[in-house]
Amino acid sequence: MTSHMDAWLNFVSKEKPASSHTYKEICDLGVELLFNADSFKQIAEAPSTSALFDVLRTHISPSSPHLLSTLPFLMAAFTKKRRSLPPSGGSSVTDANSLAMSFFSSCEELLHGVGDLHESQVWHSRLGLLKVVEDESVFSSRNEKTAVILKKEVTACIECSASVYGMFLW
């Protein structure tokens, strides 16, 4: 899968999600290969240094900003796949949501890595990721760590909107 990752991500980024049956099959197949018990365990232990994000960092870079559009798709697939697995070892819905937020946080690190040169694609991707958080209801206000993650998003949004008219505001 690793050797085909670049081609798969490019395919996912170029096709529209509902464009064809073949598109859906290829996406699903990639999701099946990417997200399994091992990858969930790695992401749970150290999301940023997991094999999945190592691969993503290699392919989603400033030279390929169009691949940023795949991050919301990956997060939605990750969240649904994790929920579809039977609970094991005392894991719960709360754990699954917390894991999804770890995935979100690691995606944010990727966005920062791409930098300001492609800020439009970065913001489109950020919006997509937040919509996944909303649609999949993975945020819990009782989890302080995830609240901190999303409050950083608020700060980034305010800095962006304040920057359009100059250098005022607190």
Binding residues for other proteins, per CB under 8 A? 116, 119-120, 122-124, 126-127, 130-131, 133-134, 139, 141, 147, 150-151, 153-170
| Closer CB to other proteins, 30 or 128, in the complex | 128
Percent of the chain that is helix, strand, coil (3-state, to 5): 75, 0, 25
Q: Are 157 and 114 in contact (CB under 8 A)?
A: no
| Closer CB to other proteins, 86 or 166, in the complex | 166
Shortest CB 5 distance to other proteins, Å: 27
Nearest Cα residue to 156 out of 119, 102, 128, 131: 119
Shortest CB 153 distance to other proteins, Å: 6
Tokens of 130: 């937040």
Coil vs helix vs strand at 35: coil
| Closer CB to other proteins, 22 or 116, in the complex | 116
